[in-house]
Amino acid sequence: MAINTVGLLTYYNFIRASSNYLTRLTEPGLSITGALSLYTWARFDTESTDAVTGLISKWYETGNQRAYVIYKAADNSINFSISTDGTAVANVNDAAANYAASKWFFIFARFTPSTELALFVNGNWYLNVAAIPASIFASTEALRLGSYNRSNYLDGRLSRAGICAYAVTNNMVEALYEHLAALYLEKSQH
């Protein structure tokens, strides 16, 4: 894994075959159990196509330590999942509507307790409002960038990853995307 820059763009370059990822031990600021927003700019290399790849996670299925995760599934759908008890899972995904190798994606995931799971991918919203739990499990699993479930490594890039204990509004998410898109996307893509 390497830190790279192009102009004003700084990113981590993850190599799946090397099992690269970034991690931070759990702490109160990462054990968010209420409103949650996660975001990153991600770019998948060809090796991530048709493979499960983690982007941001505090998730380990062994020992029921699931809390929250953004990942790309083997069907190339981008997913946001939470667990209320370490086992049960609520999810929202983009039904693989956005995936392409070698293209940057702005991925924003939001949990609004008892209301919705929302996923924003390059200008498109995806919502789940059915049976949304009131809280997220306080998992003891470490935070990982570029992996989840202690495997499922990303082959690609992550830039500007963030986590906050607040359900960021649609207007703020869309403004953030519009302000940063020029750094990541060709003009015809946004």
The structure's pTM equals: 0.95
Answer yes or no: is pLDDT of 186 > 90.
Answer: no
Residues 6+ apart with CB under 8 A from 172: none
**Location of structure tokens 């990853």:** 161
**Count of positions (residues) in the chain:** 190
Domains of the chain: 8-185 (2.60.120.200)
Sheet holding 53-58, edge to edge: 22-24, 143-145, 53-58, 68-72, 78-82, 90-93
* Model pLDDT for residues 95-140, shown as the tens digit of each residue: 999 999 999 999 999 999 999 999 999 999 999 999 999 999 999 9
**10, 40 in Cβ contact below 8 A?**
no
**144, 53 in Cβ contact below 8 A?**
no
Report, as an integer, the average pLDDT of 18-39: 95
